[in-house]
């Protein structure tokens, strides 16, 4: 019998009738995982910054609200994708107000450096973000301490950080190339006194775009081939004007949707350099693509899809965020595929509903890849074996997290018969107007 959920907001449920190829053109704007950081960078300079190609996603509103609580003027022109930030005046936010945004994103921790430079102190609320692993912030806090900040974790609602005498340069090594901790160090070191050397850093394209923004603002940052950043602290920074790089996670998500549904999608705005690793895998599976100046067309050229073995990794490896949508396409490939997740310990929870829909996916604690990863000999099911092709059947699905949720949408669109996907507002965090885009691609949704 179908469960009736009396308390649910009906707008949070998408009814999907699958089995129809997705066909048409959609436009992807700037990268969620860059735009939010560039907005934080604007806080460093007492002036006006303009960011273009900004997607209409919830994370942009969360960061805007947090900036406004600190006295910053933020204007979001969602239609044209332009955010204007005037950080001439910055003030301490009321802890209770900041708390209302706790749990909504992971970005607040990146406010630390800019707030310490502007005000000498910062209050960071409890962090949110997707439940795909423990997601500790120990590297962030260690970095801030090394740069001279005092970190007080006693406050029950968040973390109070102070640096009354300012930050100073330091030698920092990250035990793992964390994206967030690399950004934390850059945002804090640009105005710290003296030099900072950050080794073991991540160099994702979104980080390099942040470095470009910081350079426009007046920062001195260089990066070596061995993933070491060197920052020479400067006294003053100014506002910037910048156009965000395209969201390569969203682009790859639509590419996977084209493959799984036997579709043909032109992703306007998608760019090749940041997607090379994905494109290689897409081609190995049997997907077709055509790269133009305007974007990339992805399609299923007919015939059987082939299985692959992939390992997620930091850039230039195969992104962890590409993994979840692609797994749905792999359920339609002919044979045994292996995915070894080495970035997050717990990113296969989303496969359970896929199995209930008819997929054959087995999870393993072992490292099923060429190299053992950090999760070896630990109790995490971080390898998946997918056997296909398996027809999927529609059903009720609860969205677990952002990328897992989009994967469930792809599964529902691939499946025979109707599905109700619950909790779709989670997907708004990272996929701008995905309902409109699905309609434009001919999906049967309501």
Chain contacts with ligand EPU (rule: CB under 6 A):
32-33, 106, 130, 133-140, 176, 178-181, 202, 249, 320-321, 343-344, 402-403, 430
The residue among 228, 244, 220, 217 whose CA lies nearest residue 47 is 217
Closer residue to ligand EPU (CB): 81 or 180: 180
Closer residue to ligand EPU (CB): 77 or 138: 138
Closer residue to ligand EPU (CB): 20 or 365: 365
At closest approach, how far in Å is the CB of 271 from ligand EPU?
A: 18
Q: What b-and-e string marks burial along 377-398, b requiring 16 or more CB atoms within 10 Å of the CB? A: eeebbbbbbbbbbbebebbbbe
Closer residue to ligand EPU (CB): 123 or 344: 344
At closest approach, how far in Å is the CB of 225 from ligand EPU?
A: 20
33 labeled binding residue: yes
150 burial type by CB count under 10 A (0-12 exposed, 13-18 middle, 19+ buried): middle
- Which amino acids are annotated catalytic? 130
Q: Which residues on adjacent β-strands are paired with residue 26?
A: 267
343 labeled binding residue: yes
**CA angle at 263 for the pair 262 and 269, rounded to the nearest 5°:** 140
CB atoms within 10 A of CB 134: 10
Task: Give the rounded distance of the alpha carbon of 205 from its chain centre.
Answer: 12
> What is the biggest distance separating any 2 CA atoms in the chain, rounded to whole angstroms?
67
Closer residue to ligand EPU (CB): 140 or 300: 140
At closest approach, how far in Å is the CB of 37 from ligand EPU?
A: 7
216 labeled binding residue: no
Q: Which residues on adjacent β-strands are paired with residue 90?
A: none
At closest approach, how far in Å is the CB of 231 from ligand EPU?
A: 19
Residue nearest to ligand EPU (CB): 180
What 3-state class would DSSP assign to 333? strand
At closest approach, how far in Å is the CB of 109 from ligand EPU?
A: 9
Q: Rounded to whole angstroms, what are the CA distances from 53 to 18, 168, 389, 431?
A: 32, 34, 38, 14
- Residues annotated in the binding site for phosphoenolpyruvate, as ranges? 32-33
């Amino acid at each position: 019998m179908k469960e009736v959920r009396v308390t649910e907001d009906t707008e949070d449920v998408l009814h999907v009738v699958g089995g129809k190829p997705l066909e048409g053109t959609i436009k992807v704007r700037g990268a969620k995982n860059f735009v939010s950081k560039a907005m934080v960078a604007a806080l460093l300079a007492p002036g006006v910054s303009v960011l273009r190609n900004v997607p209409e996603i919830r994370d942009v509103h969360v960061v805007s609200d947090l900036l406004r609580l600190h006295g910053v003027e933020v204007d979001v022109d969602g239609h044209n994708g332009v955010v204007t930030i005037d950080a001439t005046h910055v003030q301490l936010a009321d802890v209770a107000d900041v708390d209302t945004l706790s749990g909504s994103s992971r970005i607040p921790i990146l406010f630390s450096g800019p707030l310490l430079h502007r005000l000498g102190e910062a209050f960071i609320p409890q962090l949110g973000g997707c439940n795909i692993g423990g997601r500790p912030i120990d590297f962030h806090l260690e970095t801030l301490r090394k740069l001279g900040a005092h970190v007080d974790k006693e406050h029950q609602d968040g973390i109070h950080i102070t640096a009354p005498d300012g930050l100073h340069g330091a030698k920092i090594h990250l035990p793992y190339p964390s994206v967030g901790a690399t950004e934390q160090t850059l945002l804090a070191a640009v105005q710290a006194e003296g030099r900072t050397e950050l080794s073991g850093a991540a160099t994702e394209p979104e980080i390099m775009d942040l470095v470009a923004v910081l350079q426009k603002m007046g920062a001195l940052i260089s990066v070596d081939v061995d993933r070491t950043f060197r920052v020479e602290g400067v006294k003053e920074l100014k506002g910037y004007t910048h156009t965000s790089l395209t969201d390569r996670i969203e682009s790859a998500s639509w590419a996977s949707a084209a493959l799984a549904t036997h579709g043909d999608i032109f992703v306007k705005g998608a760019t090749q350099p940041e997607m090379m690793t994905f494109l290689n895998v897409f081609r190995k599976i049997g997907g077709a693509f055509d790269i133009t100046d305007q974007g990339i067309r992805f399609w299923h050229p007919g015939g059987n899809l082939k299985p692959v073995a992939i390992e997620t990794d930091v850039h230039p490896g195969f992104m962890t965020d590409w993994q979840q949508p692609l797994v749905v396409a792999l359920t339609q490939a002919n044979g045994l595929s292996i995915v070894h997740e080495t970035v997050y310990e717990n990113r296969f929870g989303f496969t359970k509903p896929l199995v209930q829909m008819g997929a054959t996916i087995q999870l393993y604690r072992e490292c099923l890849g060429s190299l053992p990863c950090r999760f070896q000999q630990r109790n995490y099911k971080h390898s998946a074996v997918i056997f296909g092709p398996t027809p999927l059947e529609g059903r009720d699905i609860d969205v677990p997290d952002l990328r897992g949720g989009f994967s469930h949408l792809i599964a529902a669109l691939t499946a025979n018969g109707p599905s109700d996907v619950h909790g779709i507002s989670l997907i708004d965090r990272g996929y701008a107007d995905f309902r409109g885009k699905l309609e434009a691609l001919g999906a049967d949704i309501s």
